[in-house]
Amino acid sequence: MPSFRRLLSVDPSLTCSGWALFSVPEGIIKAVGKIRAEKPPTPLALRLEKLQASIKRVIDALQLGPGDVLVCEAPTTMKDPHNAIKVEQVRGLFESLSRERGVTVPGRVNPRSVQYEVMGLRGKQLARPEVKAAAVRTVEFLYADQLSQLGLSGLGKHQDIVDAVLIGRLALLQIEAARASQAPLETLFGGQEKQDRRSWRVKPCTIS
């Protein structure tokens, strides 16, 4: 398995995507940031066009290329299929633009796996505010000093970056597991948890 230099982890969103850049050998955070998109009433096509340009600028500024890895958060459910499809387009922009530059895109990280393996949450799924608060506490415990050196404090105001950092934490563990086992990196990111297929059903539109 090839050795990797850096990992860019991304929490994709059509409003504000958080990202974190890690050094793979050292496991430390080198940079963090957010990419904001245009808001309605700007048409979706134009929002995606401008977002693509913003993502490209970040990838260029970080000089990502061969030897680097990009991992995005995976979707969990399709309770709101229309929004999920929009976010999937954003996720695709990050992945396709990275592949164009020779970046390895092995797969995605399931947020449920982040909660279980990184945050240590067990049992019944917590309410969203509780999960977000636990995410902030986990990142503060793991990376407070590193983020402070990058000028980032008050993590509760930077939830997009917090989520990207947690995605990166799990991705680093998976990269290390692949290296130790000499397994292809893609096999560690390919096994997404099964979803409830009932949640995939799109509600029929009503004609008014």
Q: Which residue has the higher pLDDT, 206 or 104?
A: 104
Q: Between 179 and 78, where is the model more confident?
A: 179
Q: Taking residues 114-131, what's their average pLDDT?
A: 89
- Check residue 125 and give its pLDDT: 81
**Mean pLDDT of the region 24-40:** 96
Domains belonging to the chain, first-starting first, are 6-183 (3.30.420.10)
Could you say which DSSP state residue 104 is in? B
191 band by pLDDT with thresholds 50, 70 and 90: low
CA distance 120 to 127: 15
Cα separation of 36 and 17, whole Å?
6
Q: Does the structure show a pLDDT above 90 at 194?
A: no
Query: What does the pLDDT look like over 52-71, one tens digit per residue?
Result: 999 999 999 999 999 999 99
Task: Report the pLDDT averaged over residues 131-144.
Answer: 96
Q: Which residue has the tokens 């998976």?
A: 174
**Average pLDDT value for residue range 179-194:** 79
Token duo for residue 164 = 């990207």
Give residue 130's pLDDT.
Answer: 94
Percent pLDDT > 90 in the chain is 79
